[in-house]
C-alpha cells in the first residue's frame, strides 16, 4: 500500500502556527502537525507545503516498502534527489531499507518567490552549537552566508520529558534574546514513523524536516556537526546517520532553503577549548544528558557522561568557576570517583567514546592535581581516532 500525504493546511493560534497534513499509512490515518513558534506572521503568509512531510516519512516508507504520494507540489530538485540519490545513501547505511517510488507535483519556478530572511542553526546549548556561535558572532571567520541570525529549537524525539523540552526551549529563547538573535522552533511527534530506528540513526531526517517547516523565515540552516570528518567519512556505511551528513545535507536543499554542515573538521576537544575562551558563551552551556540521577536545579548535572568530560577540561584550564551558574559543581566534586569510573569505562570499553579519549589525551599533558592512580589510568586510555588540531602528546 502507498503512504499518502493529503489535505495540507495551516492553523494559527497565540504565538504558534501549525503546518498540518493527513497521513494515510498501514497504521491508519494520522494527522501530523509541525507546531511552529516564533515569527508567526511570516509563517502564516506562506502557502502550506509538503516538503517536511516527505522528508520525515522517507525512512518509514523505505522500511515498509510503501510508495510515497503527496497531494501537492514540491521543489523539483528536492523531489529528484529524494527519488534517486538520497535513497541510495540511506540504503548504504541501513540494510533493511529498500527504494520506493515518490510521486508529487513539481512546483513551478517563480523567480519572484520571496526567500526567508534568516540564517539559522539548531540550538541546544551544547558544545557544537556554541562553537558555531563563537565563530559566527565573535570572530571574523565566516562569510556573510554563514553568519547566524536565528537560533532554532526543535522537538522531534531527542527529549523524552515535556518538562525538559520546556527548559531547553526557554534556555534557547533566552540565549537568542541575550545574543541579539531571532528565535523560532518546531515541534512534531514523529515517533510513530521511526520505530526500529534510534534517534542517533535518524535525527538528520527528523531535524531537517522540522527545519523545512520553517523555510518561509529561514533561507539557510547551518547544521553544527557532532561527528568529526575523520570519524564519519570512513564510517559512511554504518547506522550512524551523522556520518552521511556531508552528503545528505546538501542533497536535502531546496530553491528556498539550503543546508550546510559546520564544524566537522574540529574534534570535540578543540570545540570545548574554543568555547572555554568565550566567557559569554561558557555561562550559557547546556550539555547535560538528563539521566535519571539528575536532580539538579541547574542546566547541567555535573556528573553525567556528557557533563563530566567538559568539566574535567574546565578544571584543567582553571575555569570551573565560570560554570558555577549553569553547572552543579557540588555534584561534580561529590560524585567524582563514580563519574571517573564511568568515564574510563566509556573510553576503554565497548563504546570507545571519542570525547573521553580526546580529553584523556589533553589531561595527560595537563595533570593539574591528579592523584597517582588517576595518572596511571589516563595512560591506559587509547588515543582517539580523530586527532586534535593541537598536539598534546
Residue where the block lists cell 554504518: 238
For the chain, which domains are there? 3-106 (no CATH), 118-262 (3.40.50), 287-380 (no CATH)
List all residues 6 or more positions away from 15 whose beta carbon is below 8 Å from its beta carbon: 37, 40
Taking the C-alpha atoms of residue 261 and residue 295, their distance in angstroms, rounded to an integer, is 34
pLDDT tens string, the chain, 393 residues long: the values are: 799 999 999 998 878 899 999 999 987 899 999 999 987 778 888 889 999 999 999 999 999 999 999 999 999 999 999 999 999 999 999 999 999 999 999 988 765 567 788 999 999 899 999 999 999 999 888 888 889 999 999 888 766 566 777 888 899 999 999 999 999 999 999 988 999 998 888 989 999 999 999 999 999 999 998 777 766 666 666 787 888 888 899 999 999 999 999 988 889 999 999 999 999 999 999 998 876 555 567 889 999 999 999 999 999 999 999 999 999 999 999 999 999 999 999 999 887 888 999 999 999 888 777 777 888 888 889 888 766 555 444
Taking the C-alpha atoms of residue 74 and residue 82, their distance in angstroms, rounded to an integer, is 11
Specify the pTM.
0.89
Taking the C-alpha atoms of residue 186 and residue 190, their distance in angstroms, rounded to an integer, is 12
Taking the C-alpha atoms of residue 369 and residue 302, their distance in angstroms, rounded to an integer, is 19
Taking the C-alpha atoms of residue 359 and residue 158, their distance in angstroms, rounded to an integer, is 25
> End-to-end alpha-carbon separation of the chain, Å?
58
Q: Give Cα separations from 255 to 45, 47, 115, 227 (angstroms).
A: 18, 15, 9, 27
Q: Give Cα separations from 27 to 33, 193, 331, 363 (angstroms).
A: 17, 10, 45, 52
The 3-state secondary structure of the chain, one letter per residue? CCEEEEEEEEEEECCEEEEEEEEEECCEEEEEEEEEECCHHHHHCCCCCCHHHHHHHHHHHHHHCCCEEEEEEECHHHHHHHHCHHHHHHHHHCCCCCCCCEEEEECCCCCCCCCCCEEEEECCCCHHHHHHHHHHHHCCCCCHHHCCCEEEEEECCCCCCHHHHHHHHHHHHHHHHHHCCEEEEEECCCHHHCCCCCHHHHHHHHHHHHHHCCCCCEEEEEEECCCCHHHHHHHCCCCCHHHHHHHHHHHCCCCCCEEEEECCCCCHHHHHHHHHCCHHHHCCCCCCCCCCCCCCCCCECCCCCCHHHHHHHHHHHCCHHHHCCCECHHHHHHCHHHHHHHHHHHHHCCCCCHHHHHHHHHHHHCCCCCCHHHHHHHHHCCCCCCCCCCCCC
Taking the C-alpha atoms of residue 80 and residue 106, their distance in angstroms, rounded to an integer, is 10
* Closest-CA residue to 107 (of 8, 186, 249): 8
Amino acid at each position: 500500500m502507498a503512504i499518502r500525504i493529503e489535505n495540507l493546511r495551516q492553523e494559527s493560534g497565540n504565538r504558534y502556527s501549525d503546518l498540518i497534513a493527513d497521513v494515510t499509512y498501514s497504521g491508519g490515518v494520522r494527522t501530523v502537525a509541525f507546531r511552529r513558534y516564533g515569527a508567526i506572521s511570516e509563517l502564516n503568509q506562506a502557502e502550506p507545503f509538503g516538503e517536511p512531510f516527505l522528508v520525515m516519512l522517507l525512512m518509514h516508507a523505505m522500511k515498509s516498502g510503501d510508495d510515497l504520494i503527496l497531494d501537492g507540489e514540491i521543489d523539483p530538485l528536492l523531489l529528484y534527489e529524494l527519488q534517486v540519490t538520497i535513497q541510495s545513501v540511506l540504503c548504504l547505511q541501513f540494510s533493511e531499507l529498500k527504494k520506493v517510488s515518490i510521486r508529487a507535483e513539481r512546483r513551478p519556478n517563480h523567480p519572484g518567490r520571496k526567500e526567508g530572511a534568516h540564517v539559522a542553526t539548531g540550538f541546544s546549548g551544547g558544545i557544537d552549537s556554541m562553537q558555531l556561535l563563537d565563530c559566527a558572532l565573535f570572530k571574523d571567520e565566516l562569510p556573510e552566508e554563514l553568519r547566524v541570525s536565528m537560533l532554532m529549537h526543535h522537538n522531534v524525539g531527542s527529549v523524552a520529558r515535556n518538562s525538559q523540552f520546556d527548559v531547553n526551549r526557554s534556555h534557547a529563547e533566552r540565549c537568542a534574546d541575550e545574543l541579539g538573535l531571532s528565535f523560532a522552533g518546531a515541534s512534531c511527534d514523529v515517533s510513530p514513523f521511526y520505530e526500529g530506528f534510534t534517534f542517533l540513526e535518524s535525527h538528520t531526517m527528523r531535524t531537517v524536516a522540522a527545519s523545512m517547516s520553517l523555510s518561509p523565515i529561514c533561507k539557510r540552516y547551518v547544521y553544527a556537526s557532532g561527528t568529526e570528518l575523520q570519524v564519519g567519512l570512513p564510517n559512511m556505511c554504518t547506522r550512524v546517520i551523522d556520518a552521511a551528513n556531508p552528503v545528505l545535507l546538501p542533497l536535502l536543499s531546496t530553491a528556498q532553503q539550503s543546508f550546510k554542515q559546520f564544524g566537522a573538521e574540529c574534534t570535540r576537544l578543540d570545540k570545548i577549548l574554543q568555547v572555554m575562551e568565550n566567557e559569554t558563551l561558557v555561562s550559557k552551556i547546556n550539555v547535560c544528558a538528563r539521566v535519571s540521577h539528575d536532580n539538579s536545579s541547574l542546566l547541567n548535572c555535573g556528573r553525567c557522561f556528557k557533563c563530566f568530560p567538559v568539566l574535567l577540561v574546565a578544571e584543567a584550564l582553571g575555569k570551573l568557576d565560570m560554570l558555577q551558574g549553569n553547572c552543579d559543581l557540588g555534584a561534580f566534586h561529590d560524585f567524582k570517583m563514580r563519574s571517573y569510573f564511568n568515564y574510563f569505562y566509556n573510553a576503554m570499553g565497548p563504546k570507545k567514546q571519542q570525547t573521553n579519549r580526546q580529553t584523556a589525551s589533553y589531561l595527560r599533558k595537563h595533570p593539574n592535581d591528579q592523584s597517582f592512580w588517576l595518572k596511571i589510568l589516563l595512560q591506559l586510555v587509547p588515543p582517539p581516532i580523530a586527532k586534535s588540531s593541537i598536539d598534546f602528546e
